[in-house]
Amino acid sequence: MSEYVLALDQGTTSSRAILFNREGDIRQITAREFTQIYPQPGRVEHNPYELFDTQAWVMAECLRQAGVGAGEVAALGITNQRETTVVWDRATGAPVHNAIVWQDRRTAGFCDELKARGLDGVFRDKTGLVLDAYFSGTKVRWILDNVPGARARAQEGGLAFGTVDSWLVWNLTKGAAHVTDESNASRTLLFDIRAGAWDEELLDILGVPASMLPRVARSSEVVGEAHPEFLGRPLPIAGMAGDQQAATFGNACLRAGMAKNTYGTGCFMLLNTGDNARRSGNNLLTTTAWSLSGGRSYALEGSVFMAGAVVQWLRDGLGILREAREVEELALSVPDNGGVVLVPAFAGLGAPHWDQYARGAMVGLTRGATKAHVARAALESIALQTLDIMECMEKDAGVTLHALRVDGGASRNNLLMQLQADVLGAPVERPRVTETTALGAAFLAGLAVGFWSDLEELESLWRLDRRFEPAMSRAGRDALVGEWRRAVERAKGWARE
């Protein structure tokens, strides 16, 4: 009998494989970083071959390190950086261009053109998204318009488009399956989230041939088999979901009104709205959460572009940290931010501002400011961006959030989690397993093959590690939030000026 499910977590900076047992506990984690490519300011790319090669390597290495044979694995689940775009040749499997990463801003001007044509409402109504360079559709168009011969080849039916999940499955199945799931499709600007189908009008506006598109599957469904050359035997690929939807599923936010926040490269807060695709009046996104055999669930989402990436910048850009984990100790060495406020709009501002031209700003500096104050301001910026989203989410959904479940690497930072509870004025709940993105992919795959029986069993596997209660005074909170909002206004529109 199979005792494990293997989750492949293809993120923005690393490929990881995590082996989970029947209790939802981690048996083994294996990770490998890959190259970040910055061809010019505002552009971010990945080598598609490197994405797959690192993912295939960690998949096999994870089982080897655990001493587990492929025969003990019931299924593979895949979760991925969502909007990152790959276009490849169907005949050769060769990418026609580097993957264009979700952080990339090269299509911001084209998004402005679409808005000027009055098309924002069309996209909002059908996709639940705003017109922003963040999403996949305009990236596909850029590749077709800028790679010599690409558009002609696509119109002949010779090119395939996919987000990273599709690219992984294509390669794992040796080209036998070109498929995505509804959660990933809902991030492309090409998919009608209520109809659950690719939309001809949107394809026409963006100039993307329908022949390029993958089949859209449920998030929990056997979509193909990984070729035996990878692990020695074929394994069913049975779960697929974009990273933030997978994290919501893995954090057992399975009922309407439950919310989670993931602290990764970016920061992503999702509120489960059940079968109601609730339109936001506050610049949040409406997105497909997942689709199961019993139906489709939706969520409201707020996206922060820079969360853990802020700490990486302290380490790599400013050189004030040797390792990212040092940020907590450094920030704790001072009682407060000393008046320093950091707005990490390095790639613009996401929800609820959606300012493609905002840029990072640090204000309130005096001669007394130190690297410790900057470190504390960096952590506060993550918590404060989350507050901005939560307030909009509560207005849209007409609910008051009673607790926020958290996950992702930075959720292990106790100071950040306490700051988050303080600025939200609500408890923050961290689970024992914070790798909920991978766990969600495992849950979806396990459900499809009967490894786990139903949603109630999955809910029973969620276990609390620590609950952070608000401790900051109301006056202190109000002062911190007020300074933050003044600083955000100063960061907006900077690049255009």
Q: What is the domain partition of the chain in residue ranges?
A: 4-244
- Taking the CA of residue 370 as centre, how many other CA atoms within 13 Å lie in the half-sphere pointing to its CB? 9
Residue 243 in marked binding region:
yes
How far CA 494 is from CA of 135, 142, 257, in Å, comes to: 22, 25, 36
Tell me how far the alpha carbon of residue 244 is from its chain's centroid: 5
pLDDT of 497 reads 53
497 residues of the chain, pLDDT tens digit each: 789 999 999 999 899 999 999 999 999 999 999 999 999 988 999 999 999 999 999 999 999 999 999 999 999 999 999 999 999 999 999 999 999 999 899 999 999 999 999 999 999 999 999 898 989 999 999 999 999 999 999 999 999 999 999 999 999 999 999 999 999 999 999 999 999 999 999 999 999 999 999 999 999 999 999 999 999 999 999 999 999 999 999 999 999 889 999 998 888 899 999 999 988 888 899 999 999 998 999 999 988 888 888 999 999 999 999 998 999 999 999 999 999 999 999 988 888 888 888 999 999 999 999 999 999 999 999 999 999 999 999 888 888 888 899 998 889 999 999 999 999 999 999 999 989 999 999 999 999 999 999 999 999 999 999 999 999 999 999 999 999 999 999 999 998 75
Closest listed residue to residue 244, CA positions, set 129, 30, 407, 109: 407
Residue 83 in marked binding region:
yes
pLDDT of 282 reads 86
Residue 16 in marked binding region:
yes
Residue 85 in marked binding region:
no
Residue 308 in marked binding region:
yes
pLDDT of 303 reads 83
How far CA 310 is from CA of 45, 159, 378, in Å, comes to: 19, 36, 7
Closest listed residue to residue 380, CA positions, set 349, 424, 347, 446: 424
Domain topology for 4-244:
Nucleotidyltransferase; domain 5 (3.30.420)
Residue 134 in marked binding region:
yes
Residue 32 in marked binding region:
no
Residue 12 in marked binding region:
yes
With b for 16 or more beta-carbon neighbours within 10 A and e for fewer, the 246-276 pattern comes to bbbbbbbbbebebbbbbbbbbbbbbbbbbee
How far CA 388 is from CA of 314, 345, 356, 398, in Å, comes to: 23, 14, 17, 16
pLDDT of 78 reads 98
pLDDT of 388 reads 92
